[in-house]
Amino acid sequence: MKKQFLNAAAIVLAVGTLSLVGCKKDNTTPPAISLTGSSLVTVNLGATYTDAGATATDSKNDNITSSIVTTGLPINTNQCGSYVVTYNVTDKSGNAAPAVTRTVQVSATPIAGTYSVSPDSVSGGSSANNGVWNYNVVVTASSTIYNGIILTNFAGLGSTTSVSATINGTAVTIPTQTVSAGGGVIAIAGTGTYSVNPSASLPGAVAGITNIVYTTTTGTATSVYGNGKATYIKQ
């Protein structure tokens, strides 16, 4: 009789254990990722970029930062542009966290400076403007656009003549715009390139425009300005 009682108790205990196991819920809560530092970072062209990273915790508040998978690194700071770093993580239960991103903008600021333009080979204009020209251009960084620059005395048209340009990758783009010069209005557009040259004597790198090819369309100008192909040498 005692033996039968013990067997019955064992059966009840086993059933209760199975019930508890059957009621146990799977972990379906995704982990969370938190950026370290800002979600938008701007660094100078040619500078060294060190990513601040991110941290991650699972639903039990365990630290799973070491499991984060980061893509988008390293940042090519030798090319101006906007880059995205993405952070992903999955916990032990297979739950994936919503991806978190950081945007890294490589700024055109180091391109600023004074350039000797020598030569600017001009053709397609009036006989007075065709030929080879030498002059200086002052380049400043835009205060509102990370990859924007302003070129003053562009094409040697005078210190009051400035054109705007943007830089992406290794390309300089001068969108079509009008300037006042020569007593009239001139439409200018162009493209160019730049390079980053490491220098042992200077920290970081020296960035500069290497050439610009431009076209002009005369509006009410009193003389016809030709198209140019210029070599830029940073002073």
For residue 25, the model assigns a pLDDT of 57
Residue spans of the domains in the chain: they are: 26-107, 109-234
Q: Distance (Å, rounded) from C-alpha 87 to C-alpha 92? A: 17
* The predicted structure's pLDDT at residue 205: 66
Domain 109-234 fold is: Lipocalin (2.40.128)
Give the burial class of 120: count Cβ atoms within 10 A of its Cβ; 0-12 exposed, 13-18 middle, 19 or more buried: buried
CB 153 within 8 A of CB 159: yes
The answer to whether 69 touches 85, Cβ cutoff 8 Å, is: no
DSSP-derived secondary structure letter, 159? T
Beta-sheet pairing, 171-181 with 162-168: antiparallel
Dist CA 27 CA 20 (whole Å) = 16
Tell me the CATH class for 26-107: mainly beta
Residues 80 and 147: their CA atoms lie apart, in Å, by: 7
Nearest-angstrom CA–CA distance, 118 and 54: 48
pTM of the model: 0.80
Residue 196 CA: distances (Å) to CA of 30, 46, 154, 170, 229: 43, 7, 22, 9, 21
Per-residue pLDDT tens listing for the chain (235 residues): 444 544 544 444 444 444 444 445 588 999 999 999 999 999 999 889 999 999 999 988 899 999 999 999 999 998 999 999 999 999 999 999 999 999 999 999 999 999 999 999 999 888 888 999 999 999 999 999 999 999 999 999 999 999 999 999 999 999 999 998 878 899 999 999 998 876 656 655 688 999 999 999 988 887 788 899 999 999 8
- The pLDDT of residue 198 is 67
SS3 187: strand
Count of other CB atoms within 10 angstroms of residue 225 = 26
pLDDT at 84: 98
